[in-house]
Amino acid sequence: MFPQEAAKRDAARMTQGHAVYRQYCADCHGDRDPVTGSWVNGPQTGVVVPVSTLKTDPERVMFRHYDVLAGAMFTVFPSKHPFHFAREDIWPQPGEENDLSIRGYVNAPLDGMFLRAPYLHNGSVLTLAELINLKKRRDVFYRGDNTYDPVDVGFRSPDAPDARNYFKFDAAVRGNSNKGHDYPWAYEDLRRNPDDLAALLEYLKTL
Ligand code: HEC
């Protein structure tokens, strides 16, 4: 995709990054098989992680009517409609609609991650470097420019934003929190190892 970036790749760095990924990420997200090139789910892929564990923004699964949405979706769309999913694939599951403690977000495969910025379900993190806490997450940024950043992987926020051309994203607004998902380490964690994180970022670029 980005030949200049790919040319800089170094095999030892990639091995280091892959080891970090296997240790801290692959259980939940799965990994790409280096031989076949296809995605292999991990033991926890497809599982919903409660918001209380993940600590990303809760509004997406706590809003009023969330409890009735899955059932309504299942009954409203006729069986041949593309939005008619199997009932077990739509959360919350029958009988679990009112259990707030299990509401959360699903562990999904990360293939093609470089194409999927901004990150998290609410798009609150602009780059992968920030998502893995290699860099501090920006609390305010501007969308609308969409210049791609192949180094940090994601979008750049313009240096000279103006209200007319850009949308201001403020993580302090309800529903916009950029907190949580502090894997492998939170930014403030004393165990945080920037060298391992830089190697991890290089590996993520290949997914
Ligand atoms: C306990 C399971 C778990 C672990 C461990 C975990 N993640 Fe995640 N990850 C999730 C969940 C759940 C989400 C969705 C969170 C959301 O959208 O609020 C997510 C979201 C992501 C996203 C954003 C996906 C998108 O489409 O926006 C990326 C990238 C990611 N994780 C990378 C990683 C990396 C790299 C690691 C290892 C350092 C890791 N994750 C460890 C569960 C996990």
- One domain for residues 38 and 64: no
- One domain for residues 139 and 197: yes
**CA–CA gap between residue 72 and residue 75 (Å, rounded):** 5
- One domain for residues 46 and 116: yes
Ligand 1 geometric centre to CA of 75 (Å): 31
Which of 102, 132, 160 terminates a domain? The answer is 102
Does the model's pTM come out above 0.85? yes
**Residue from 20, 27, 28, 177 to probe ligand 1 pocket by mutation (most atoms less than 8 Å from CB):** 28
The answer, yes or no, to whether residue 1 has pLDDT greater than 80, is: no
pLDDT of residue 162: 83
* Number of domains composing the chain: 2
Ligand 1 geometric centre to CA of 2 (Å): 24
The answer, yes or no, to whether residue 2 has pLDDT greater than 90, is: no
**Residue from 20, 29, 152, 177 to probe ligand 1 pocket by mutation (most atoms less than 8 Å from CB):** 29
Angstrom distances, CA of residue 59 to CA of 66, 90, 104, 138: 10, 17, 10, 20
- One domain for residues 32 and 69: no
- One domain for residues 116 and 187: yes
Q: Are residues 155 and 130 in contact, defined by beta-carbon separation less than 8 angstroms? A: no
- One domain for residues 120 and 95: no
Radius of gyration of the chain (CA): 19
What is the DSSP secondary structure assignment for residue 54, as one 8-state letter? H
Mean pLDDT, rounded, of the chain = 93
How much of the chain, in percent, has pLDDT values that exceed 70? 99
The separation between CA 79 and the C-alpha centre of its own chain, rounded to angstroms, equals 30
Range of the domain at 91: 59-102
pLDDT of residue 160: 82
- One domain for residues 45 and 125: yes
- The count of C-alpha atoms lying within 13 angstroms of the C-alpha of 75, restricted to the half-sphere facing its C-beta, is 5
- One domain for residues 47 and 114: yes
- One domain for residues 195 and 135: yes
- One domain for residues 81 and 122: no
Residue among 97, 123, 79, 114 nearest 201 (CA): 114
- One domain for residues 170 and 123: yes
pLDDT in tens, 127-183: 999 999 999 999 999 998 888 999 999 999 988 888 788 999 999 999 999 999 999
Which of 102, 137, 161 terminates a domain? The answer is 102
Q: Which atom of ligand 1 is nearest to the CA of 27?
A: 5
Residue with the smallest CA separation from ligand 1 atom 36 is 25
Ligand 1 geometric centre to CA of 29 (Å): 7
- One domain for residues 97 and 181: no
Residues whose CB is less than 8 angstroms from the CB of residue 152 and which lie 6 or more positions away in sequence, other chains included: 127, 128, 129, 130, 135, 201
C-alpha angle 167/173/178, rounded to 5°?
90
